[in-house]
Structure 1
Amino acid sequence: MPTGRALEDPRTVLLDAGRRLLATEGASAVTSRSVTIASGVAKGVLHRHFEDFDAYLATLVAEDAVRIRAIEPRAAGSAAAAVADVIEQIFTRTTLALIALVISRDEVRRRARADGAFGIPLLMDATAVVIDVLGAGREVGWIRQDADVPALSLALVGGAHLLYAGELGAFPERSAVHEVAESLLAGSL
């Protein structure tokens, strides 16, 4: 007589459990054991759906990259406001924990990086989104035509990451994010 319960979609259950752990306990708390316990499944279920634990983590990174790439400013009256809004959407607790994993685990970083890509996955996805926002800002006259949009985007995402990468759950004030955006964009408006 079976003692377990059938899962509707074990892969989704496992990924959701990992995202919850990342958001609430941070990158160091995410292990194959903690994920299977949080999802209520046997450890073998994880290995049935993912080649290994690094493949599982790389899948979490890839899914978050898709989320990040879809971000658009909700409303903005200036380039700084648009960038600050996008940055606030990018840097979730889960994303910050995934960035920590990508930085600390070479194999996850290698698997998560698209062919021919460089940099740190998720941060480079964020940079691409900010490039798009600044490009749109250039089209409406918020950004000077001669502004180095890729360099500005790298600085904005890097600065934002430093603001957000503090203690788990301690996010910067909205005004601090906006101030960084305004300061970095000041010479390009």
Structure 2
Amino acid sequence: MPTGHALQDARGVLLDAGRDVLATHGAAALTSRSMTEKSGVAKGVLHRHFEDFDAYVAALVADEAVRIQAIEPRVADSAAAATTDVIEQTFTSTMLGLVSLVIGRASVRRRVGDGSPGIPLLGDATTAVADVLAAGREVGWIREDADVPVLALALAGSAYLLSAGASSALPDHEAVREVVESILAASL
């Protein structure tokens, strides 16, 4: 006799539960048990949709990469404002938790790595920042001779260092804005 009820989108429910656990409790709290408890499904449902827990984490990373790649600045009155906005949209508790898992779990790294150097998600963040800087150069906010890839790397790395290991909240807007303005100062 069957137990429980059929889920319309079990995979989506499982991924949403993982994002919620990461956002509210951090990477250390993301386990197959916490995720299945949060989603209200049996552990067997997880294994029906994912080969193992690392495949589940890799799916979360892939979804997060798509989210980051779609980020557009909501503020567009200066290079610093647009860049600050993109950084704040990118460096979320979920993203930082996933970066921690990618760094700490070799199996996840192998599954999500595309062979390019760097850490998955941080590379996507650097590309998102480079895109907003390149757009800023096109409208005259950034000097033509500015080295956009180097600026993007410095900004993404700084944003990660500001955010990584935060015990409760991500850095406030003013801290991010100050770092962005300092790094971009010579390129405006």
TM-score normalized by structure 2?
A: 0.96
- The 5 Å alignment of 1:169-188 reads 169-188=168-187
Contact 1:55 1:111 in 2 (8 A): yes
Deviation at 1:7, TM superposition (A): 1.3
Cα RMSD over matched residues? 1.1
SS at match of 1:179: helix
Contact 2:92 2:170 in 1 (8 A): no
1:109 corresponds to 2:97: no
- The CA deviation string for residues 121-144 of structure 1, in whole angstroms up to 9 with x for no partner, is 111001001111111111111111
Deviation at 1:94, TM superposition (A): 0.8
Deviation at 1:168, TM superposition (A): 3.9
Q: 5+ unaligned residues in a row in structure 2: which ranges?
A: none
- Corresponding residue pairs, total: 188
2:34 maps to 34
Q: Identity across aligned pairs (percent)? A: 69
- The 5 Å alignment of 1:1-189 reads 1-114=1-114, 116-189=115-188
Distance in 1 of aligned mates of 2:149 and 2:124: 12
TM-score normalized by structure 1?
A: 0.95
Q: 5+ unaligned residues in a row in structure 1: which ranges?
A: none
1:21 partner letter: V
- The CA deviation string for residues 80-106 of structure 1, in whole angstroms up to 9 with x for no partner, is 111001001011111111111111111
Distance in 2 of aligned mates of 1:72 and 1:177: 17
SS at match of 1:6: coil
SS at match of 1:2: coil
Contact 1:93 1:168 in 2 (8 A): no
Distance in 2 of aligned mates of 1:140 and 1:8: 46
Deviation at 1:173, TM superposition (A): 1.5
Deviation at 1:159, TM superposition (A): 0.3
